[in-house]
């Protein structure tokens, strides 16, 4: 594959690639430190991401949360 073909492939399958890498990372963590410690680490990373996103402005995060949880209220 040439560079342009690889770029097009990664661009069209970005979600699948990120999902596979996240699953691989979680699987390695489960094998290395155990399931519950891996879940705790994933929660800590998610909370850190949310705090950082809110600090950076997080308008997309707010819109996503509003759509997910408060869509039927409006």
Per-residue pLDDT tens digits of the chain, which is 74 residues long: 688 888 898 888 888 888 888 889 999 999 999 999 999 999 999 888 877 777 777 677 777 777 878 776 54
Same domain, 24 and 39: no
- Alpha-carbon dihedral angle through residues 21, 27, 29, 31, given to the nearest 10 degrees: -150
Cut 0.75: pTM above it: no
Within this chain, do residues 39 and 18 fall inside the same structural domain, yes or no?
no
Its domain, for residue 23, covers 1-33
Classify burial at 53, counting beta carbons within 10 Å of its beta carbon; exposed 0-12, middle 13-18, buried 19 or more: middle
What is the model's pLDDT at position 37? 93
* pLDDT at residue number 47: 86
Q: Are residues 42 and 14 both part of a single domain?
A: no
My answer on whether 11 and 47 are in the same domain is no
């Amino acid at each position: 594959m040439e560079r342009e073909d690889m770029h097009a492939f990664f661009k069209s399958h970005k979600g699948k690639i990120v999902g596979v890498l996240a699953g691989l990372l979680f699987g390695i963590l489960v094998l290395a430190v155990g399931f519950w410690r891996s879940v705790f680490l994933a929660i800590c990373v998610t909370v850190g991401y949310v705090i950082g996103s809110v600090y950076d402005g997080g308008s997309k995060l707010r819109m996503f949360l509003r759509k997910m949880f408060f869509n039927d209220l409006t």
